[in-house]
Chains A and B, each alone.
Chain A
Amino acid sequence: MNLVNFYLQIQIRNLILQARTIKRVGSMRKREIISMILAGGHGTRLGILTKHLAKPAVTFGGKYRIIDFVLSNCINSDIDTVGVLTQYEPLKLNQHIGIGIPWDLDRKTGGVTILPPYIKEGQGAWYSGTANAIYQNIKFIEEYNPEYVLILSGDHIYKMDYSKMLEYHKQKEADATIAVLEVPIEEAHHFGIMNTNEEDRIVEFEEKPREPRSNLASMGIYIFNWNKLKQVLIEDNEYHPDSDFGKHIIPRMIHNEDRLFAYRFNSYWKDVGTIESYWQANMELIETLPSFNLYEEFWKFHTNLDHQPPQYVGEAADVKRSILSEGSEVYGNVYSSVLGSGVIIEEGATVRDSIIMAGTIVQSGSVLNRCIVSENCFIGKNVIIGEGENIANFEKPDIYHTGITVVGDQTTVPDNVWIGKNCVVYGNTKFSDYNNGRLESGQSLILEGEES
């Protein structure tokens, strides 16, 4: 009898000890807030720019990639645990983020974790919606046992201190807080619109309403109480296997009479979703007083560029109203343009109103107007791009119609070629691929048999 008692006592003590250790481990890992970045989007309206990479991996402002802005906002807001949900063409994004060194997100616990969809017992599933992607990663979030979860999109350019939004969320005792931007009412029908009461509590959400009743547009930035969100995600999954925050989760929470609040943000925010808006947002950076300031010492944007040689401007060069990234060398003329790292503009070449991405070489005598040249391209001698009539692209008029010609990544454009406006060029093109050396406005030349 005594022996049994003794044995039981030991068992109980072990159990208590075990429980304590688990608790201790749990509390060591615990984070008040973690963020989940949705970075699996294709960004189809960016055309050839997203042929081989997800939209968050597209370069922006010369040396950055779009996701850098959100990742930097996280670390600058003291959020050190970040999940990045990838799906479409994740290779470049994975390489870029790595273990998170540039953002100080290489941590012993927390830090950055890339979360691609994976096969579960008995089933495998792609991420079928924004909320579904989070639903599939409930286990990851539970690891950190957070109070709050910040849901972000990896597609946007802005500067935001999430800790202020969290403060607001706590102060309102909200279940969910949605960052909103006041947009001109005539553009409101492009956005998810929040209708709020006098204390900014959200009473109705309308996705792209035909007749908007408010101008508060959702920025796709949400803070949820994790316990609440988890419950709603599990509930909603039974009805919508393609669960989406805007379409399903937010309406469901409003229906449940949960406390949802709008957090008003009134600073720079851009969804560079189209060729034109992407070009425009890049061009804003070269203004003498840009509306989006990259030069603030206390809100730096970090990016993965471990080799940082200086910029060089040559003897015969003329550079005006432009920004040049690390290692770029200009021997020719560059006006109103954004140059990525390692770009070389040879003597006698002229680049105007253009975005030239990292590693591209423009040889002498070439003239580039209003075009976007992707990474690691080679533009030969005496090439003309972006002249002629403004005729929308024949194959994809909805994507290329504002006069901007786009050259896809790793493309070669041979010497003496003339390319018009709204053209798309991709692949290792030869002179014979052009009609008498000309690609008229609106035409596409895409080699390797694939459509953009």
Chain B
Amino acid sequence: MKALGIILAGGSSETLSDYPNKSIAALPVGGSYRTIDFTMSNMTNSGVNKVAVITQYSSRSLLDHLSSAKWWDLGRKQGGLFVFTPYITNDNPFGYRGTADAMYRNISFLKRSNEPFVIIASGKHVYKIDFNDVLEYHQQKQADITIIYKEANYEKPSNYGVMVLDENKRLIEFEEKPLEPQTNIISLGIYVIPRTLLIKLLEDVVAENRYDFVNDVIIRYRKKLKIYGYPFEGYWRCIRSIQSFFDINMDFLNKDVRDLFCKQYPYIATKVMDEPPAKFNIGSSTKNCIVGGGSILNGYVENAVLFRKVFTGSYSFIKNAIIMDGSYIGNNCYLEYVVLDKEVVVSDGRKLVGSKENPIFLEKGSVI
């Protein structure tokens, strides 16, 4: 393979803005996946068989998810999955100080490899792409760096890196989270770059005590290097907050989204949990729902995404909800616009009502 992959999955920007203790890459999406599965699968489905995941904030649940590489076919003698967490040395007592620093601190991984290209991606995006097309484009343009972009139609460009491209799609201007965006072309934070160039750039910027890939590499070198944009037109979402987490999960109730990720080859791979089939008991009624394996339903559920091993009691009413793995909802409960983290217990007869703009969130293991 021509490229190796680096997934940046755990800077402080990779945690939920409203719940900074939750790592986005490990958040469940669409009934049976974790966010990072999308990027991981995009890589392995594109034939990238050496992938490094770099993580630091709240990485426990992510490490748990990545405990075996075999689900993504990355359990290999050559290549395979590498997980890099920061380690402290006498002359460097810091965690990763930025995305460029995170890569620089693992530069020996890059130096020991011999793949000509590196694909740098983030662990918080939900999308499907064939990186071979991007690599081909990169070579055809004879680019130094290729950035995958999208024309924002409903996302606010001011939340992203905004790009100005010339007619050949060469980057002219790049602003990170501008107050007054000049275009609606947003960078998806996915880059293709030759490995040797990446090593050189990382060594140069870190020597100047600069640590951020976007600000210190892309923006500073935007004129010096030949940076091109690669247009991506499919479904692409970025999880930032409970609100976007809620919306993206709800998107999976839409057949097109489900078909894209679940039914159209290549599939998104995830850790196999071997849950038994979902069970719908006699008193249950289910409308427009995703129901994960091992769930047992006794009540009414509508417009909801239920992950694995969820139990709903008799005469309970659940609508517009995201319920993560292993949560228990007792009898006669009433839940609307809620997001339950893993292993939440809702006692009999409880009523929880949030709103579309502000769903109620209950943290992992809470009992109410």
Contact = CB atoms under 8 A, between A and B. Distances in A.
A301 B276 contact: yes
A266 B349 CA distance: 39
A311 B292 contact: yes
B287 A321 contact: no
Given A101-B70, A288-B282, A321-B282, A308 B288 contact: no
A23 B284 CA distance: 62
A310 B31 contact: yes
A199 interface: no
B293 A308 contact: yes
Given A288-B281, A327-B262, A308 B294 contact: no
Contact of A310 (B30, B279, B282, B287): B30
Which size class do A's interface residues fall under? 35 or more
Nearest to A313: B286
A320 interface: yes
Nearest to A321: B282
B272 A311 contact: no
A295 B32 CA distance: 17
Interface in B271-306: 272-274, 276-282, 284-294, 296, 305
Given A309-B258, A309-B262, A327-B262, A319 B292 contact: no
B263 interface: yes
B280 A324 contact: yes
A319 B276 contact: no
A321 B262 contact: no
B269 interface: yes
B291 A311 contact: yes
Interface in A301-323: 301-303, 305-323
Contacts of B269: 306-307
Given A310-B30, A311-B290, A324-B277, A305 B272 contact: yes
Interface in A24-76: 61-63
A102 B274 CA distance: 8
Given A306-B71, A311-B293, A323 B261 contact: no
Nearest to B258: A312
B367 to A, nearest CB: 19
Interface in B216-248: none
Contacts of B287: 313-317
Nearest to A294: B276
Contacts of A324: 277-278, 280, 291
A165 interface: no
B277 A62 contact: yes
A323 B270 contact: no
Given A102-B274, A325-B293, A310 B280 contact: no
Contacts of B279: 286, 295, 322-323
Contacts of B290: 310-312
A307 B286 contact: no
B267 interface: yes
Given A288-B282, A306-B272, A321-B281, A313 B288 contact: yes
A323 B293 CA distance: 10
B280 A323 contact: yes
A101 B272 CA distance: 11
A320 B291 contact: no
Given A286-B279, A320-B280, A323-B280, A309 B288 contact: no
A300 interface: yes
Interface string A322-335: 11111100000010
Given A309-B32, A310-B262, A324-B280, A295 B288 contact: no
A317 B288 CA distance: 8
Counting chain B CB atoms within 10 Å of each CB, the highest count among A295, A303, A334, A339 belongs to A295
Contacts of A302: 274
Nearest to B281: A288
A318 B280 CA distance: 10
A332 to B, nearest CB: 13
Contacts of A323: 276-280
Given A306-B71, A307-B267, A311-B291, A339 B277 contact: yes
A303 B274 CA distance: 7
A311 B71 contact: no
A320 B284 contact: yes
B292 A318 contact: no
A408 B297 CA distance: 31
A322 B285 CA distance: 11
Contacts of B292: 310-311
A311 B278 contact: yes
Contacts of B253: 312
A308 B280 contact: no
A63 B290 CA distance: 17
Contacts of A325: 277-278, 293
Contacts of A61: 276-277
A65 to B, nearest CB: 13
Interface of B: 30-32, 70-71, 252-253, 258, 261-263, 267-270, 272-274, 276-282, 284-294, 296, 305, 307
Nearest 8 pairs of A and B residues by beta carbon: A310-B31, A309-B262, A294-B276, A323-B277, A62-B277, A313-B286, A325-B277, A319-B280
Given A309-B263, A314-B287, A315-B287, 11 more contacts: A61-B277, A102-B274, A288-B282, A295-B296, A311-B278, A312-B290, A313-B288, A314-B288, A317-B287, A319-B284, A325-B293
